[in-house]
Amino acid sequence: MSREQRGPNEKLGAVLALAGMSNAGLARRVNDLGAQRGLTLRYDKTSVARWVSKGMVPQGAAPHLIAAAIGQKLGRPVPLHEIGLADADPAPEVGLAFPRDVGAAVKSATELYRLDLAGRRAGGGIWQSLAGSFAVSAYATPASRWLITPADSSVAREAAPSEGGSPRQRVGHADVRKLKEAAEDARRWDSKYGGGDWRSSMVPECLRVEAAPLLLGSYSDEVGRALFGASAELTRLAGWMAFDTGQQEAAQRYYIQALRLARAAADVPLGGYVLATMSLQSTYRGFGDEGVDLAQAAVERNRGLATARTMSFFRLVEARAHARAGDAQAAGAALRAAEGWLERSRDGDADPQWLGFYTYDRFAADAAECYRDLKAPRQVRRFTEQALSQPTDEFVRSHGLRLIVSAVAELESGNLDAACEQGVRALEVAGRISSARTTEYVRDLLHRLEPYGDEPRVVELRERARPLLTAPA
């Protein structure tokens, strides 16, 4: 999609000539860069000719991909104004930076909070234009910088007066407690109703209205650490909810900012937790090797710091990534380590509040998914039975996902009746929540059932699933 400027884009034509790039060459490179971000682009030499001769401005991420493609050829950054595209959509770099300076980190996070709300009010904004985009390479710098320096030396802040000349807010522990309570409430709603539930969608609003003014206020080092920690938890939650609703680009940005805020909080286990969610997203998107790297970063930095239960979760996430990468031996070793750490945990341990979801049944559920990816249905069935033995009132979405994994295991074991029965139960749960991830699991199950498409039980299941699969996003 493009909009027209007045006259030819002479700047773009001149820079293309300088770089020695043909129209076809630029189109090909832009398509390739888009594919790396999960975008399907079909530009050709005619598209580029229109950009140059008619001044057409491509929408979404394309202007930034054009600049990146030419910059790679020239061996230097190419700003949008140099190629005559300075009035393109807002820069997608917002939220992807991991600044070394604490002040810059505050600016980076608060800019992201404002951008997200603007996007929602505009009917999708930048998230809509970059729908489905995900670049696993964007995690490389944040992860390495966090590994090198997981805590800032000081975060005390004396804010300058606001635009009206009045002093900025002096932040206290009571302000931080409100953010922590908001995070706890959001966790419960997300688990019970899915990331797309309207109550969960209030988290970005809370970040903009509550967290941002506090981060821009004045605080001591002690209060600042707590403030950054609470903001990191909320930001990670916003990312998790975006991930659950299929907004991968938004999730990635929230995760990066959450990791930076966790560093300012000097909370290494929380930083590890953010890395673990980055790993889960990478693994879900098919980047198993990168998922392993992120999970192992969480493990290595937290040795001797995190509780046994926390270390167990990090090793479990590592196992998920190994399984997706097809490494059965490494996945098995990580699962055994996760189980060993979990056995060492005790009720009196100082486990972080955000880890309250992690119990033996959650371990069993993820172990089942590992063995599903490794195509070991007997093991899937064993762990799924354990995972489904617990009450489901609080973790409704997880229960639905476990039922689908169980259905897949039954199908791969040749038990079509049992697979369809579990599929029906899963659809009953899926109808009560708003989760794109759950819908994708249902699609995967139906895809696996296609060879039995004429069976009455499969036809019935497909009909039951139709309202879910055709509901507006």
Model confidence, pTM: 0.80
Q: Which of 120-129, 161-170, 203-212 has the lowest mean pLDDT?
A: 120-129
| Long-range residue pairs from 407-413, CB within 8 A, at least 24 positions apart, any chain | 407/445, 408/372, 408/377, 408/380, 408/444, 408/445, 408/448, 409/368, 409/372, 409/377, 409/380, 409/381, 409/384, 410/377, 410/381, 411/445, 411/448, 411/449, 412/375, 412/377, 412/380, 413/377, 413/378, 413/381
Residue with tokens 């002093």: 167
Tell me, letter by letter, the H, E, C secondary structure of 21-52: CCHHHHHHHHHHHHHHCCCCCCCCHHHHHHHH
Q: CB-hemisphere CA count at 13 Å for 241?
A: 28
Q: Which of 65-74, 129-138, 405-414 has the lowest mean pLDDT?
A: 129-138
The helix-helix angle for 10-19 and 62-74 (nearest 10°) equals 30
What is the pLDDT, as a whole number, of residue 293? 97
d(CA 158, CA 282): 38
- CATH topology agreement for domains 2-83 and 367-473: no
Are residues 146 and 271 in contact, defined by beta-carbon separation less than 8 angstroms? yes
Q: Name the CATH topology of 367-473.
A: 1.25.40
**C-alpha 386 chain-centroid distance:** 28
- CA-nearest of 465, 438, 446, 450 to 284 is 438
Domain boundaries, given as residue ranges, for the chain:
2-83, 102-366, 367-473
What residues contact 291, with CB distance under 8 A and at least 6 apart?
A: 279, 280, 282, 283, 317, 320, 321, 324, 325
d(CA 406, CA 381): 6
pLDDT of 175 > 50? The answer is: yes
Are residues 305 and 269 in contact, defined by beta-carbon separation less than 8 angstroms? yes
With a pLDDT cut of 70, the percent of the chain lying above it is: 88
Query: What tens digit of pLDDT does each residue of 280-319 get?
Result: 999 999 999 999 999 999 999 999 999 999 999 999 999 9
Quote the tokens at residue 176. Answer: 């931080």
d(CA 159, CA 165): 12
Q: Is the dihedral of CA 202, 251, 270, 374 positive or negative?
A: positive
Mean pLDDT in the chain? 87
Which CATH number describes the domain made up of 102-366? 1.25.40.10
Q: pLDDT: is 169 or 224 the higher one?
A: 224
pLDDT (average), residues 331-356: 96
Quote the tokens at residue 382. Answer: 């064993």
CATH 1.10.260 fits 2-83, yes or no: yes
Query: What tens digit of pLDDT does each residue of 104-153 get?
Result: 999 999 999 987 544 444 334 444 444 445 788 889 999 999 999 999 99
